[in-house]
């Protein structure tokens, strides 16, 4: 803070300079120590100002207040001289917005600038990213660090920030070794830095945090999707539980902000403890998670292993060569594993016309970064209509025109399910639908099957089939909130008279034990909290309800809402004509491979003539675990080379040579140890490999040949073991030699004169076990 500025200079201070000056230490302490007050003098004619020494005067020092400056309190909070209206106008201007930000957003940005710690609970699509960008826009020459869970989210947020005129960058394992990266971060070349929790433990970043100049530039550390501290921090990504260690570097001058759309009371406690809240002044806000443009529904799956019939009615009723891409709804399917994603993509393509089969793809974390970018951009701009994804796209990703979100299977928590539902209808003008298709064991049975006395009271004489203990045990392991949401419309249980929206609103409004305020302007709490009473700092929790629930007919499948909404996702019949419309495209053709060696076509079905021929497989020795492992490694190398050389990097390797084929070949590895079995006919007899050409089969046979030569080298001539000198030679007897037996790669010679004592048997068995 330049105390010696003239009044004219102070009047010309910009709003940004005023904010920066508010964060710098005052010179009043130094003035008190020297017991003198600086006196303003006229500037000399020279271009370089010269300070004229003045006699020390024993007067009380005065503080020259600058425009926009704030007074720093002993608890680390800065009292700013501007209000919320100034924050709203500045954020709108600097971020080039065509709308005014909400009051709660402006209040929270102001509290962060005043260096309050905060937790923000706001539903998906409420505009939480504005909070990060707003603080960066208001803090000139300052840096905002945002902790993100996924690379695709980092890239999406950086792109949005750059479009608003903010210098932003993401730092992850892909670019952390780029030349000059850390030097640019140290000198403040970027206003926003998006990082994963693992990157916070990177040695280069820890060196940055040890730099006083870099710490002075930090305006805030934000943790996006902070509910993942509970979901992932225990075993999946334990670095989430170590974010609080940054408090040792930030002290009381740098605020923390945790944001999430789904926080139960338990989740709030985990966030509070894991990020060490309570050591600084705190101001938090909960604006609710209601999404009135979403319609919730859930029902059991008809076939969990192959859910095509359950989702077939989401496609057009009739599909032919005239069907356009715009006739398909934009749908995001969620599966729990990448194998399930690939299988569903194949099932969907079997019922689509040939010109529309490219509109569905899988999306998961093991794809290359380039493939992820291509597929996600295609999905955003409408080139893809049916995306099948794992949790990789369930957090924070912003595609505004998704009409359906369908979760197939069970998620780990209600928070995870709500996050997946939150991808739908990001544009408030779109009325989107969210369906949870679950296995039947997750649904509570009718009360009469649990307690036969109820059936007797109701007068039903027929015997009721009881639920199996296995299903009951599996349901008991579900998270309580998720189990209750699934059964929100199950007759005969609690919450049966409730609705899915009401249940979401209640469970994601945590009890914080802080002083609760019911408006942004309230000065007195509506409810006192024990946590605020025990804290030595200011601690406030503001609770607002920004959005009301939808109308009953557009709400959910609850008994008091609209149970008929389930008709939109009713399962299809097994004889649905759409299942047979293009079935001929995927039928196998019978080819005589002996007379068509030059034919490169491989039928798309697994049932070739080789699989039904009378090929006799020779039996070989058993393969050891190490030999099977080596075979798997060689097959994976073959698959990667096949993908790169033939189809390019954008094709999923698992689609070319499925994991199931590799697993089957490992199980039948002993077959391929015999040279007679390493041919096309025997190979097709053992494994079922779809879409493989003859050249690819020949390449696989070459891999088997190499593996066989590697694991069983040519045997050496067995030698006769030395004769036991203690054994007396029997006179007159003729010793008839018995040939050696090969046990794996170990040879044991047994003669007729040997007696099979316990020691001899032990030696033979030991040789067998050593050989595998």
Residues comprising the chain, all counted: 772
The whole-number pLDDT of residue 130 equals 94
The whole-number pLDDT of residue 457 equals 62
Report whether pLDDT(136) > 90.
yes
Distance CA 495, CA 14 (A): 57
- Counting DSSP H helices and E strands in the chain, the numbers are 31, 19
Report whether pLDDT(48) > 90.
no
The whole-number pLDDT of residue 87 equals 94
Q: Which residues contact 563 (CB under 8 A, 6 or more apart)?
A: 489, 557
What number of other Cβ atoms are within 10 A of residue 184's Cβ? Answer: 12
Least confident stretch, 220-224, 262-266, 682-686 = 682-686
Which residue bears the tokens 């199996």? 468
Mean pLDDT of 283-304: 93
Question: Tens digit of pLDDT for each residue in 544-582?
Answer: 999 888 988 889 988 888 889 999 999 999 889 999 888
The whole-number pLDDT of residue 710 equals 81
Query: Is 257 or 763 the better-scoring residue by pLDDT?
Result: 257
Mean pLDDT of 358-372: 87
Which of 147-156, 345-354, 700-709 tops mean pLDDT? 345-354
Q: Which residues contact 307 (CB under 8 A, 6 or more apart)?
A: 301, 344, 408, 437
The whole-number pLDDT of residue 451 equals 63
Distance CA 355, CA 362 (A): 18
Mean pLDDT of 702-730: 63
Least confident stretch, 114-118, 544-548, 749-753 = 749-753
- The full set of domains in the chain, from first to last, is 1-70 (no CATH), 78-288 (3.40.50.300), 594-711 (no CATH), 717-772 (no CATH)
Residue 633 class from Cβ within 10 Å (0-12 exposed, 13-18 middle, 19+ buried)? exposed
Residue 89 class from Cβ within 10 Å (0-12 exposed, 13-18 middle, 19+ buried)? middle
Residue 348 class from Cβ within 10 Å (0-12 exposed, 13-18 middle, 19+ buried)? buried
Question: Tens digit of pLDDT for each residue in 648-706?
Answer: 444 566 666 777 788 888 887 877 777 777 777 777 777 776 566 777 788 888 888 88
Tell which residue, 703, 688, 699, has the closest CA to residue 603: 688
Do 82 and 112 form a contact (C-beta atoms < 8 A)? no
What value does the mean pLDDT of the chain take? Answer: 78
Tell which residue, 188, 109, 206, has the closest CA to residue 143: 188
Report whether pLDDT(771) > 70.
no
The dihedral over CA atoms of 604, 610, 612, 613, expressed in degrees to the nearest 10, equals: 160
What number of other Cβ atoms are within 10 A of residue 598's Cβ? Answer: 6
Strand partners, 477: none
Distance CA 19, CA 47 (A): 27
C-alpha angle 506-515-225 in degrees, rounded to nearest 5: 50
Distance CA 75, CA 116 (A): 10
SS3 of 389, please?
Answer: strand
Distance CA 78, CA 447 (A): 60
Which of 129-133, 444-448, 708-712 tops mean pLDDT? 129-133
C-alpha angle 553-555-558 in degrees, rounded to nearest 5: 90
Question: Tens digit of pLDDT for each residue in 508-527?
Answer: 999 999 999 999 999 899 99
Percent over 90 (pLDDT), the chain: 44
């Amino acid at each position: 803070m330049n105390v010696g500025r003239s009044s004219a200079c102070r009047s010309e201070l910009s709003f940004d300079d005023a904010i920066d000056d508010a964060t710098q230490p005052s010179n009043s302490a130094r003035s008190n120590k020297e017991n003198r007050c600086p006196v303003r003098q006229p500037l000399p004619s020279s271009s370089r100002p010269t300070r004229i020494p003045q006699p020390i005067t024993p007067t009380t020092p005065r503080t020259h207040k600058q425009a926009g400056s704030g007074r720093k309190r002993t608890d680390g909070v800065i009292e700013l001289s501007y209000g919320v209206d100034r924050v709203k106008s500045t954020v709108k201007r600097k971020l080039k917005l065509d709308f005014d930000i909400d009051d709660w957003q402006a209040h929270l940005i102001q509290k962060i600038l005043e260096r309050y710690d905060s937790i923000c609970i706001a539903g998906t699509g409420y505009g939480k990213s504005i909070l990060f960008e707003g603080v960066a826009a208001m803090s000139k020459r300052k840096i905002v660090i945002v902790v993100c869970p996924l690379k695709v989210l980092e890239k999406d947020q950086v792109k949005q920030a750059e479009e608003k005129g903010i210098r932003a960058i993401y730092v992850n394992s892909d670019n952390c070794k780029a030349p000059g990266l850390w030097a640019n971060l140290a000198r403040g070349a970027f206003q926003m830095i998006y990082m994963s929790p693992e990157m916070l433990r990177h040695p280069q970043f820890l060196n940055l945090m040890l730099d006083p100049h870099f710490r002075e530039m930090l305006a805030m550390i934000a943790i996006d999707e902070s509910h993942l501290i509970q979901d992932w921090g225990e075993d999946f990504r334990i670095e989430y539980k170590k974010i609080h260690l940054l408090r040792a570097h930030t002290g009381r001058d740098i605020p923390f902000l945790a944001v999430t759309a789904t926080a139960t009371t338990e989740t709030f406690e985990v966030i509070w403890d894991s990020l060490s809240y309570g050591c600084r002044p705190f101001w938090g806000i909960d604006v609710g998670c209601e999404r009135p443009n979403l319609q919730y529904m859930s029902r059991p799956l008809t076939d969990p292993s192959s859910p095509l019939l359950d989702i077939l009615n989401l496609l057009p009723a009739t599909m032919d060569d005239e069907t356009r891409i715009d006739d398909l709804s934009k749908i995001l399917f969620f599966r729990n594993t990448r194998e399930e994603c690939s299988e569903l993509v194949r099932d969907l393509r079997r019922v689509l016309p040939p010109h529309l089969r490219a509109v569905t793809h899988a999306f998961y974390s093991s794809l290359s970064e380039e493939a992820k970018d291509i597929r996600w951009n295609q999905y955003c701009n409408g080139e893809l209509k049916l995306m099948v994804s794992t949790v990789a796209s369930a957090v924070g990703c912003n595609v505004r025109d998704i009409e359906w979100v369908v979760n197939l299977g069970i998620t780990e928590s209600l928070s995870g399910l709500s996050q997946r539902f939150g991808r739908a209808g990001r544009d408030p003008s779109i009325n989107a639908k969210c369906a949870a298709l679950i296995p039947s064991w997750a649904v509570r049975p009718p009360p009469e099957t649990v307690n036969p006395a109820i059936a007797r009271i109701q007068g039903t004489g027929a015997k009721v089939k009881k639920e199996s203990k296995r299903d009951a045990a599996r349901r008991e392991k579900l998270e309580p909130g998720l189990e209750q949401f699934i059964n929100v419309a199950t007759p005969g249980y609690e919450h049966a008279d409730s609705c899915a929206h009401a249940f979401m609103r209640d469970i994601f409004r945590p009890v914080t034990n802080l002083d609760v305020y019911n408006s942004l302007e309230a000065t007195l709490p509506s409810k006192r909290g024990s946590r605020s009473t025990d804290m030595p700092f200011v601690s406030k929790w503001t609770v607002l309800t920004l959005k009301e629930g939808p109308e009953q007919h557009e709400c959910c499948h609850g008994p008091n809402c609209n149970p008929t909404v389930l008709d939109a996702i009713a399962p299809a019949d097994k004889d649905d004509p759409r299942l047979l419309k293009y079935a001929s495209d995927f039928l196998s053709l019978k080819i005589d491979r002996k007379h068509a060696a030059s034919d490169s076509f491989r039928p798309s079905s697994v049932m070739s003539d080789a699989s039904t021929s009378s090929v006799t497989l020779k039996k070989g020795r058993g393969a050891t675990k190490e030999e099977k492992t080596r075979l798997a490694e060689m097959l994976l190398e073959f698959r990667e080379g096949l993908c790169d050389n033939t189809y390019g990097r954008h094709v999923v390797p698992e689609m070319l040579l499925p994991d199931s084929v590799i697993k089957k070949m490992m199980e039948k590895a002993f077959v391929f140890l015999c040279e007679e079995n390493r041919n096309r006919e025997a190979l097709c007899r053992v494994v079922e490999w779809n879409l493989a050409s003859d050249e690819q089969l020949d390449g696989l046979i070459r891999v088997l040949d190499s593996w066989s030569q590697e694991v069983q080298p040519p045997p050496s001539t067995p030698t006769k073991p030395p004769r036991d000198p203690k054994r007396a030679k029997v006179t007159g007897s003729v010793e008839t030699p018995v040939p050696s037996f090969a046990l794996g790669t170990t040879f044991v010679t047994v003669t007729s004169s040997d007696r099979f004592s316990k020691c001899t048997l032990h030696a033979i068995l030991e040789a067998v076990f050593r050989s595998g």
